[in-house]
Amino acid sequence: MRTKVEFVLMVACAALIYGCASTVPTELVDARLAYEKASVGPAVSLAPDELHKAKVALDVAEKSFSNDAGSYQTADLAYVAQRKAEMAGVKGSIAMEQKNKAQSDADFQKKQGEILAKKSQDLQEQSQHLAKARTDLSDAERNSKEIAAQLAKEQKAVLEAKANTAMAEAQSADAQAKLAALAAKEDERGLVISLSGSILFRSNEDMLMPGAEARLDQVVEALVASKNRSVVVEGYTDSNGSDAYNSGLSQRRADSVRNYIVFKGYPAERVLAKGMGEGRPIADNATSEGRANNRRVEIILKDQVAMKN
């Protein structure tokens, strides 16, 4: 919360200071805001080199503006500075996610080690008890000992089977819970996870942005843990552009998301991509907000494994 407040204050101060000077190009304003945002994020400690490059680029743009406020070069330099600041922010976020994942992996390995150590100790104690029991048995009781050993083996097998079943059920339940948490709604198609096009793709492009993978990974992780579902990826656009263009763009975007899900380990035969164009709008295309809501990708989870095109 404190970081967000500091960021807002910094932006407000910047706007107050710069508002008193000559008219500032939009590109330079965007570059300043992009750098201010990156400078209060994880890039400060996790991507300092990229943040420094962004600062140097912004300083160059500021100097150009001071020398000639109306030059086209200032706008070009500001755009470069903005892109570098955004890249620093993205790299900082990715590095933070990687750091958190590494810590989670380390905690998981530690917990697994403790579980294995406990199991090893239990097995050792059981072996000692069995050895003592065998020592106490006489030759006359040999047949009984063999029967007891066989019974113990069978009981162990039953316990292991129950443990494996319980673990599988727990993993499945966890996966189902994660999928339910991610799903925004449920309709006649199944559980629907709706992702805004602005967090997945740049305008009029069908290649996933670097930051989109982290959001998709949450969905893929839950899907891979529960592979009994069929998945339909539907791409949608707003009403701008021709029907043919929107249909093609939505199909390519749906294909990109499908390919990423398959690349991360989900069975390809269970994932279908559909380009829906401007169909099934969820908001009014007459407003910019409505169009933004309509530009989306929906991931639909079905119970049955088989799918028909």
pLDDT tens string 39-69: 999 999 999 999 999 999 999 999 999 998 7
The helix (H) or strand (E) run that includes residue 193 is strand 190-196
Q: Note whether 93 and 190 are same-domain residues.
A: no
Cα 56 to Cα 77: distance, rounded to the nearest angstrom = 11
pLDDT level of residue 142 (50, 70, 90 thresholds)? confident
Is residue 276 assigned to a domain?
yes
For the range 215-218, what are the long-range contacts, defined as Cβ-Cβ under 8 Å and sequence gap of 24 or more?
216/257, 216/260, 216/261, 216/264, 217/264, 218/178, 218/182
Q: Which residue range is the domain that position 284 belongs to?
A: 183-302
pLDDT level of residue 143 (50, 70, 90 thresholds)? low
pLDDT at 41: 94
Mean predicted lDDT score pLDDT of the chain: 82
Q: Note whether 187 and 298 are same-domain residues.
A: yes
Task: State yes or no: pLDDT of 203 exceeds 90.
Answer: no
Q: Residues 270-280: what's their mean pLDDT? A: 93
pLDDT at 149: 75
Amino acid residing at 258:
R
Is residue 197 assigned to a domain?
yes
pLDDT at 66: 92
261-278 burial by CB neighbour count: b if 16+ within 10 A, else e?
A: bbeeebeeebbbbbbbbb
Q: Which of 278, 237, 234 is nearest to 258 (CA)?
A: 234
Residue 186, by phi and psi: left (phi above 0), alpha (psi -120 to 50) or beta?
Answer: beta
Q: Which of 64, 4, 6 is nearest to 31 (CA)?
A: 64
Is residue 211 assigned to a domain?
yes
The residues with which 185 forms a beta bridge, in sequence order, are: 192
Task: State yes or no: pLDDT of 118 exceeds 60.
Answer: yes
Task: State yes or no: pLDDT of 26 exceeds 60.
Answer: yes
Q: Note whether 190 and 289 are same-domain residues.
A: yes
User: 54, 76, 98 — which closes off a domain?
Assistant: 98
pLDDT level of residue 178 (50, 70, 90 thresholds)? low
Is residue 114 assigned to a domain?
no
Q: Note whether 192 and 290 are same-domain residues.
A: yes
pLDDT above 70 coverage of the chain, percent: 78
* pLDDT tens sequence across 235-259: 999 999 899 999 999 999 999 999 9
Task: State yes or no: pLDDT of 216 exceeds 70.
Answer: yes
Is residue 220 assigned to a domain?
yes
Torsion angles phi and psi, residue 191, rounded to 5: -75, 130
Number of domains in the chain: 2
Is residue 93 assigned to a domain?
yes
Coil, strand or helix: which one is 283? coil
User: 69, 98, 127 — which closes off a domain?
Assistant: 98
pLDDT at 302: 84
Beta-carbon neighbour count of residue 182 at 10 Å? 20
Q: Note whether 189 and 288 are same-domain residues.
A: yes
Q: What is the domain-level CATH number for residue 236?
A: 3.30.1330.60
pLDDT at 123: 85
User: Following DSSP, what letter does each residue of 1-67 receive, concatenated?
Assistant: -HHHHHHHHHHHHHHHHHHTSSPPPHHHHHHHHHHHHHHTSTHHHHSHHHHHHHHHHHHHHHHHHHH
pLDDT at 171: 47
pLDDT at 6: 55
Is residue 25 assigned to a domain?
yes
Is residue 308 assigned to a domain?
no
User: 98, 123, 142 — which closes off a domain?
Assistant: 98
Query: What letter would DSSP give residue 159?
Result: H
Q: Note whether 297 and 189 are same-domain residues.
A: yes
